[in-house]
């Protein structure tokens, strides 16, 4: 067969392929279905546990077994995604309603990871069996082939509650993200019950029952007035605060105790919160903090901040809200798969979808139950009829040569070949006319069924069957009856599993924190050769002047309210607040300059450390290794950004010198091939910081500036080069851009 080549535009093929991929990620991986509130991997994990029979009243099974079975049958995307989903389903601090009962280390609220799947065990929660998986055997949802078409899996679980609201959901797809907060089970059921009574209810009506999100970590939602807009559009920001209590401490001190945290703080953000408080103390912004301790346990969150006696407690509470993540934002984007496509839904849309789904699967459920009861009725009526003429049935069976002959007589009234005791029996046998199923049941009936009590039980069972048939027909024919059934199921779930609301919904004003003004004083900022910085007061500096000169590379006098500026040989300027540098004793090590600036010592070295106020008063001189130089007004470096390019350098060029111009008169350039050039500084033009500058010395091929010295007017100035003292008078005073003189040292 000849090959058939189909020509197509490349961009069209790429576009179609990407759209197919994106939709696959959106629908088959990342976003939950609004009907059951589950992502495919979560649905598959729960269904697999159901298939394995790991029920709430059965022993736990290894997580590795569950993960392996799920991956082999339904979810071939790697074990890590399956186990991660299983872990989240067990975590009651992330989910409003944990669907899996975990045994072992499944992580904690502080962000510690779960143990490996070979160590942990799990089983289904009771509510998962009752509200998520109970009706799967009644053909209430469609089953679809798995990835290799060797198994069948449900396309959606017959969930009886709006799980997408109760447990919320988070996921990132291609070009879209979903973020739905968890809500209170009892409130969600109340709203659903009211919607069943009045489908015309608006989001505002429903919010009389659903006050807002109910995070498992508690906390306080502080923008109640904005919630209606968020739930009507499905998009918005919910502001959440942690709960802070004031307790009396030891020796008259006061403790701020954090007992509930904002939902977004779960995990590593708790340690970030603690480090933020420590940073506030170290930077002298919270000097009244005495101690911080995390006393959290299985019983709940308890973070204790001990304050001094005279501390302004209310101001410190506001500081926690303002300066740390104790007040945070939960971004809401209620995006879910609705009718096969991603859609941003309002609160009303979500409940309407869930109620519609409840009607759909209950319609299928009671249709199937009715069919089974009809089948039971047919057989029961046949057996009752047979019991009434049991002597004739026995006569037919004894007179028949085989089963087929007896069955033909029972179904079609054909008596050929059957021996009867009398003509009357034969005539009666011709009039029986049982159905096929009834005949089979009669032929398989055991003799003990003829006992009187057994016949009474059969009649009673038939009465129950007829009662069920009338009940199911009523449910299927009248919507009000169906509504009543759904409502009763929801009420039963609420009665057994609902709990009190944990999150407080209110309107609160923005936290106002008045930062205490730092008392201005002169300090010396010291930096050693390893890049560690610290600040000392003037008295400490004067007492330790000799050791400071020996150990420190830079010592800068400045105000504690000012800034220090750091220049490196890549021509970058980094600024830091002096307040961020710890004020301590001469023996203190200090902190790395990397901690308070973006400077890194990987590919650069520090050329100058100075105060911002000095830059504003004086000019600066820049000299590069390739002998480009310029003078720049120091005011150009008074910027708000913490990192800027201080000067422009050509490729592979670096700074040889950068310093503040004060009383220097002459500059001496020394090349690495031994040439010295001395000329007046006034010959160096003043330029902007973005300029390269002018050439200061003619260098031989491959030569670079090795050292830079500055001298005054006096002829007895001495420079020290390679441990040799050289009087400046020995170096001829020349002009800029000369080659210089080669000295013999």
Question: Catalytic site residues?
Answer: 119
Which class for 133: exposed (0-12), middle (13-18), buried (19 or more C-beta within 10 A)? buried
Cβ atoms of 513 and 318 closer than 8 Å: yes
Would you tell me how many other CB atoms lie within 10 Å of the CB of residue 309? Answer: 11
DSSP 200-256: T--HHHHTTT--S---TT--EE-BHHHHHHHHHHSEEEEEEE-EEEEEE-GGG-EEE
Phi, psi angles (nearest 5°) of residue 398 = -70, -30
Strands 289-294 and 303-307, by their bridges, are: antiparallel
Per DSSP (E only), the strands in 35-176 are 61-62, 100-103, 121-124, 143-145, 152-154, 169-172
DSSP class per residue in 578-592: GGGSPB--TT---EE
Q: Tell me the C-alpha distance between 577 and 593, whole Å.
A: 11
CA distance linking residue 86 with residue 116, whole number of Å: 12
**363: phi then psi, degrees, rounded to nearest 5:** -60, -45
What is each CA distance from 184 to 124, 520, 608, in whole angstroms?
Answer: 21, 52, 60
Two structure tokens written together for 135: 């009706």
How many residues comprise the chain?
745
Distances (CA, A) of 125 to 48, 92, 103, 141, 452: 14, 12, 12, 21, 44
Half-sphere exposure of 252 (CA within 13 A, CB side): 4
Instruction: Evaluate the CA torsion angle 595, 282, 522, 560 in order and state its sign.
Output: positive
What secondary structure letter does DSSP report for 265? G
Based on its alpha-carbon atoms, the radius of gyration of the chain, rounded to whole angstroms, reads: 42
Cα–Cα nearest to 100, from 49, 168, 155? 49
Token readout for 12 is: 């069209």
Residue 107's DSSP bridge partners are none
Q: Which residues contact 495 (CB under 8 A, 6 or more apart)?
A: none
Using alpha carbons, select from 659, 697, 694, 650 the residue that is nearest to residue 677.
697
Q: For the chain, what percentages of helix, strand and coil (3-state, to nearest 5) are there?
A: 40, 25, 35
Tell me the DSSP string of 185-200: HHHHHHHHHHHHH-TT
The whole-angstrom separation of Cα 35 and Cα 616 is 66
What one-character DSSP code corresponds to residue 510? P
C-alpha span between 524 and 128 (Å, rounded): 66
Q: In which residue are the tokens 């330790």 written?
A: 544
Residue in 485, 513, 472, 141 with CA at minimum distance from that of residue 315:
513
d(CA 290, CA 275): 15
- List the structure tokens of 422: 């009398």
Nearest to 140 by CA among 128, 124, 156: 156
| Among candidate residues 526, 530, 633, 532, the one with its CA nearest the CA of residue 586 | 526
Residues 520, 521, 525: CA angle, nearest 5 degrees: 120
Query: Which positions ≥6 away from 568 have C-beta within 8 Å?
Result: 574, 599, 604, 605, 606, 607, 655
Q: How far apart are CA 479 and CA 486, in angstroms?
A: 11
């Amino acid at each position: 067969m000849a090959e058939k080549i189909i020509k197509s535009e490349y961009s069209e093929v790429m576009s179609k392929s990407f759209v197919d991929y994106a939709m696959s990620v959106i629908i088959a991986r990342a976003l939950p279905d609004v009907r059951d509130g589950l992502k495919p991997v979560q649905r598959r994990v729960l269904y697999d546990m159901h298939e394995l029979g790991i029920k709430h009243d059965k022993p736990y099974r290894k997580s590795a077994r569950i993960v392996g079975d799920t991956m082999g049958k339904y979810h071939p995307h790697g074990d890590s995604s399956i186990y991660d989903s299983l872990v989240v389903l067990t975590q009651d601090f992330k989910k409003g309603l944990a669907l899996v009962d975990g045994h072992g280390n499944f992580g904690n609220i502080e962000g510690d990871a779960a143990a490996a799947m070979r160590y942990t065990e799990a089983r289904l929660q009771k509510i998962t069996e009752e509200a998520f998986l109970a009706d799967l055997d009644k053909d209430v949802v469609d089953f679809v082939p798995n990835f290799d078409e060797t198994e069948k899996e449900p396309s959606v679980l017959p969930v009886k509650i709006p799980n997408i609201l109760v447990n919320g959901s988070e996921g990132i797809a291609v070009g879209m993200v979903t973020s739905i907060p968890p809500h209170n089970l009892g409130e969600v059921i109340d709203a659903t019950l009211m919607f069943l009574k009045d489908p015309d209810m608006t989001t505002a009506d429903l919010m009389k029952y659903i006050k807002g999100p109910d995070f498992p970590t508690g906390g306080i939602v502080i923008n109640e007035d904005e919630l209606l807009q968020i739930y009507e559009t499905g998009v918005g920001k919910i502001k959440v605060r942690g709960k802070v209590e004031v307790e009396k401490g030891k020796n008259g001190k006061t403790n701020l105790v954090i007992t509930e945290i904002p939902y977004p703080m779960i995990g590593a953000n708790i340690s970030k919160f603690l480090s933020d408080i420590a940073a506030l103390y170290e930077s002298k912004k919270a000097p009244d903090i005495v101690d911080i301790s995390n006393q959290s346990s299985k019983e709940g969150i308890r973070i204790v901040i001990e304050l001094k006696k005279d501390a302004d407690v209310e101001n410190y509470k506001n500081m926690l809200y303002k300066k740390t993540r104790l007040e945070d934002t939960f971004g809401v984007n209620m995006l879910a798969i609705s009718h096969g496509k991603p859609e941003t839904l309002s609160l009303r849309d979500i409940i309407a979808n869930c109620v519609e789904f409840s009607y759909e699967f209950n319609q299928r459920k009671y249709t199937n139950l009715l069919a089974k009861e009809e089948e039971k009725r047919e057989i029961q009526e046949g057996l009752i009829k047979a019991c009434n003429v049991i002597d004739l049935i026995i006569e037919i069976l004894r007179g028949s040569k085989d089963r087929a002959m007896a069955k033909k007589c029972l179904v079609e009234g054909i008596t050929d070949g059957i021996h009867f005791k009398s003509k009357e029996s034969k005539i009666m046998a011709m009039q029986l006319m049982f159905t096929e199923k009834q005949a089979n049941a009669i032929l398989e009936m055991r003799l003990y069924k003829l006992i009187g009590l057994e016949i009474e039980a059969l009649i009673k069972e038939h009465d129950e069957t007829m009662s069920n048939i009338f009940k199911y027909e009523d449910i299927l024919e009248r919507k009000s009856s169906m509504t009543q059934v759904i409502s009763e199921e929801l009420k039963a779930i609420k009665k057994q599993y609902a709990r009190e609301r944990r999150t407080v919904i209110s309107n609160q004003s923005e936290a106002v924190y008045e930062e205490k003004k730092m008392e201005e004083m002169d300090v010396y900022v010291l930096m050693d050769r390893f890049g560690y910085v610290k600040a000392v007061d003037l008295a400490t500096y004067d007492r330790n002047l000799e050791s400071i000169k020996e150990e420190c590379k830079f010592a800068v006098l400045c105000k504690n309210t000012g800034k220090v500026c750091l220049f490196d040989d890549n021509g970058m300027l980094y600024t830091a607040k002096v307040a961020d540098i710890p004020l301590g004793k001469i023996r203190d090590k200090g902190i790395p300059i990397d901690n308070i600036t973006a400077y890194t010592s990987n590919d650069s070295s520090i050329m100058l450390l100075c105060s911002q106020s000095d830059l504003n008063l004086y000019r600066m001189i820049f000299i590069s290794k390739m002998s480009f130089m310029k003078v720049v007004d120091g005011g150009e470096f008074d910027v708000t950004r913490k990192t800027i390019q201080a000067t422009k350098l050509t490729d592979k060029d670096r700074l040889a010198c950068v310093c503040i111009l004060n009383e220097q008169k002459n500059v001496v350039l020394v090349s690495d091939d031994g040439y010295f050039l001395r000329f007046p500084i006034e010959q160096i033009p003043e330029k902007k910081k973005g300029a390269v500058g002018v050439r200061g010395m003619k260098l031989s091929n491959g030569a670079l500036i090795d050292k830079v010295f500055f001298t005054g007017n006096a002829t007895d100035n001495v420079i020290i080069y390679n441990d040799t003292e050289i009087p400046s008078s020995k170096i001829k005073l020349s002009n800029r851009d000369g080659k210089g003189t080669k000295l013999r040292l």
